[in-house]
Amino acid sequence: MQTYEQFADVDVLGANLQSIVDGFGTFSILGNGILFQEGLGNRGRDDSISFEKDKWYPLATFLRAFDRIGKDFGEYMHRQVGLSIPKNAPFPPTVVDIDTAIQSIDVAYHMNHGVNGVALFSPATGKKTDRIGNYGYERQVGKKLILSKCSTPYPCAFDEGILTSMAQRFDRTSSVTHAPGSCRKKGAAFCIYHIAWK
């Protein structure tokens, strides 16, 4: 099982923190409060929280905020935050269909996390540092089905939200389900998701 301490040297870009606020929708003040209490962002006069989009913030602190969200509001809110990630995080311009959309998640994930101010994926060199797990991609031959094996430190429902948002951007008939068996909530190292479409 992963712990916050494993990620003490890893950071996340500020653009991703906005996704927590967006995931709360009209109740964004609740998300703002959790982030501020965890020491993330700056509070405005109207109780809103602001982040520097290109600034690095501690991943361990971000994960603690996720933990609180899960305890206070449940998996539904984790999924809502995951659904909002693609609109805040930069993705490669090569994304043109459901396959490239799912493949791009791992690249974008590593571009949005870094160590010592250096992203874990460099578009210039194509080099990726595996430090924070991955979003897998395995297309099932002859089927409209992709398996994604996820080994990130984020909650299951959050990953399901990201996969759903990216798949539905390119095919509105797509759906994402957590496969039976291995699950990080139960101490496993990964979860597998089925991305299917008509």
Could you tell me which of 15, 10, 110 has the C-alpha nearest to residue 58?
A: 10
Q: What is the mean pLDDT of residues 100-129?
A: 94
Phi, psi for 142 (deg, rounded to 5): 75, 5
pTM here?
Answer: 0.91
List, for residues 46-66, the tens digit of each pLDDT value.
767 888 889 999 999 999 999
Q: Please determine, for residue 10, whether its predicted confidence score (pLDDT) is greater than 60.
A: yes
Q: Structural domain tally of the chain?
A: 1
Give the per-residue pLDDT at 99: 96
Q: What is the rounded end-to-end Cα distance, in angstroms, of the chain?
A: 36
Give the range of the structural domain holding residue 182, as residue numbers without chain letter. Answer: 4-196
Give the per-residue pLDDT at 48: 76
Contact 156, 191 (CB under 8 A): yes
Q: What is the mean pLDDT of residues 137-154?
A: 97
- CATH number of the domain bearing residue 107: 3.90.1520.10
Q: Would you list the DSSP string of 98-125?
A: HHHHHHHHHHHHHHTEEETTEESB-TTT
Contact 84, 183 (CB under 8 A): no
Give the per-residue pLDDT at 12: 95
In the chain, what percentage of residues exceed pLDDT 70?
96
